[in-house]
Amino acid sequence: MLITNEERRVFRRMAIEAAVTITLGDNQIQGTCKDLSSSGMLIQILEPSVNPDDKIRVVLTTQNSRFPPLDVEAKVLRVKNEDGAYLVATEFLSVK
């Protein structure tokens, strides 16, 4: 029996299109959350500003005042160049 990566995932991912701010040291990077799960996030950025193993802070704000921003510390797992942008896969380390 062949098991795909999708079947190995413990947490489901939700496709989402929301603005995020990444903080790495003193630098702030604007990006877009492409998908979200309870354990991580896929973020699209325009420049290769982060590297695997970087520890970053990610803040995702919503347009709905009933929901507070998602504010997490995350580890960069991989960065992939795709169509002139960069996809950053992250793993959540802690939620603030």
pLDDT in tens, 24-64: 999 999 999 999 999 999 999 999 999 999 999 999 988 88
Structure token pair of residue 31: 């990006």
Lookup result for tokens 């939620």:
95
| Residue 3 or residue 54, greater confidence | 54
Which CATH number covers residue 42? 2.40.10.220
In a domain, 89, yes or no: yes
* CB neighbour class for 58 (10 Å; exposed up to 12, middle 13-18, buried from 19): buried
Higher pLDDT, 56 or 8: 56
How far is it, in rounded angstroms, from Cα 71 to Cα 57?
Answer: 7
Name residues whose C-beta falls within 8 Å of residue 9's C-beta, 6 or more positions apart in sequence: 37
Evaluate whether residue 44 is within a structural domain: yes
Query: pLDDT tens across 70-83, in order?
Result: 999 999 999 999 99
Domain that holds residue 28: 19-95
Q: Does residue 9 belong to any structural domain of this protein?
A: no
Provide the pLDDT for residue 81: 96
